[in-house]
């Protein structure tokens, strides 16, 4: 569709149909998603898959005159349409020099993460096996796709997944943290098993006979130790004797 001469007409027609189908106001819907970015004046924003630039026109008033907006699409037809529409529209106080459009592949962009909001077709899982969901997927096979949560970066934080537009589209929003979540892997466990997350993961030993395991648990309990602590004592003593 993006390569056709009349791609702009067909894409806009699709969007009109989409919002009417789910009885949603186009601008109100876009603003509700953009609110997830918590934008303020002077922010820098990247829009991937800009389409006809509708999101851009909702973002510009929020970032103000000092903000910068980068927008791309893999279709040169869409980027050209976005540029033309921006030229025909009052964009308020934003300096047009602070708007950067490009034809590019969204998976190969040289930008660092920040606050991220993505969305696409995907019927909610609890609806897929009834006629409502089947009807939606029959209309557009893309609506059978799962939210790509497994593709989020390891340092994604504050991740939220919601469904919108009749629960036929998903929205994922998250932040890029500076590191993995904190987890104290050395905090000792209380109880007969004992150990810590580090010991239970990195210090796993080979299996033993169930009867010996039962004796070990009994011996640890009698000594007032955890199994982990008794094992360390016994193994250390045995190694020292060698």
pLDDT over 90 at 236, yes or no: yes
Query: Which residue, 23, 35, 37, 6, is CA-closest to 175?
Result: 37
pTM, rounded to two decimals: 0.86
Q: Which of the pair, 151 or 96, is modelled with greater confidence?
A: 151
Cα-trace Rg, the chain: 28
Mean pLDDT, all residues of the chain: 93
Burial 154-170 (b: 16+ CB within 10 A, else e): eebeeeeeebbbbbbbb
Check: CB of residue 185 under 8 Å from CB of residue 203.
no
Note the pLDDT of residue 1: 67
CA 221 to chain CA mean position, Å: 46
pLDDT over 90 at 226, yes or no: yes
Check: CB of residue 52 under 8 Å from CB of residue 82.
yes
Looking up tokens 């993505």, which residue turns up? 118
Check: CB of residue 50 under 8 Å from CB of residue 72.
yes
Lowest mean pLDDT of 2-6, 8-12, 81-85, name the range: 2-6
Query: In DSSP terms, which residues pair with 161 in a beta bridge?
Result: 172
Note the pLDDT of residue 67: 94
* 24-83 pLDDT per residue, tens: 999 999 999 999 999 999 999 999 999 999 999 999 999 998 999 999 999 999 999 999
Note the pLDDT of residue 2: 67
Note the pLDDT of residue 94: 73
Domain 1-111: CATH superfamily is Vaccinia Virus protein VP39 (3.40.50.150)
Check: CB of residue 129 under 8 Å from CB of residue 144.
no
Q: Which of the pair, 50 or 3, is modelled with greater confidence?
A: 50
Q: Which of the pair, 69 or 2, is modelled with greater confidence?
A: 69
DSSP 8-state class, residue 173? E
**Angle between helical axes of 26-34 and 54-63 (0-180°, round to 10):** 50
Residue 206 to residue 187: CA distance in whole angstroms: 23
**Tokens representing residue 99 in the block:** 């708007």
């Amino acid at each position: 569709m993006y390569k056709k001469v009349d791609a702009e007409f067909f894409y806009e027609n699709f969007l009109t149909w989409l919002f009417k189908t789910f009885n949603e106001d186009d601008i109100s819907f876009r603003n509700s998603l953009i609110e997830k970015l918590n934008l303020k004046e002077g922010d820098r924003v990247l829009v991937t898959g800009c389409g006809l630039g509708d999101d851009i026109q909702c973002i510009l008033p929020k970032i103000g005159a000092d903000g910068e907006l980068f927008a791309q699409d893999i279709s040169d037809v869409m980027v050209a349409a976005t540029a033309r529409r921006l030229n025909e529209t009052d964009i308020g106080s934003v300096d047009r020099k602070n708007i950067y459009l490009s034809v590019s592949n969204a998976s190969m962009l040289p930008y660092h993460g920040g606050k991220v909001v993505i969305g696409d077709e995907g019927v909610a899982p609890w609806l897929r096996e009834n006629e409502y969901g089947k009807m939606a997927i029959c209309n557009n096979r893309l609506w059978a796709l799962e939210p790509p949560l497994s593709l989020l970066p390891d340092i994604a934080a504050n991740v939220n997944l919601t469904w919108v537009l009749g629960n036929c589209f998903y929205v994922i929003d998250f932040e890029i943290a500076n590191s993995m979540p904190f987890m104290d892997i050395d905090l000792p466990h209380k109880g007969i098993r004992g150990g810590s997350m580090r010991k239970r993961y990195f210090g796993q030993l080979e299996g033993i006979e169930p009867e010996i395991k039962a004796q070990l648990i009994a011996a640890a309990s009698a000594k007032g130790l955890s199994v982990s602590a008794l094992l360390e004592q016994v193994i250390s003593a045995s190694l020292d004797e060698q």
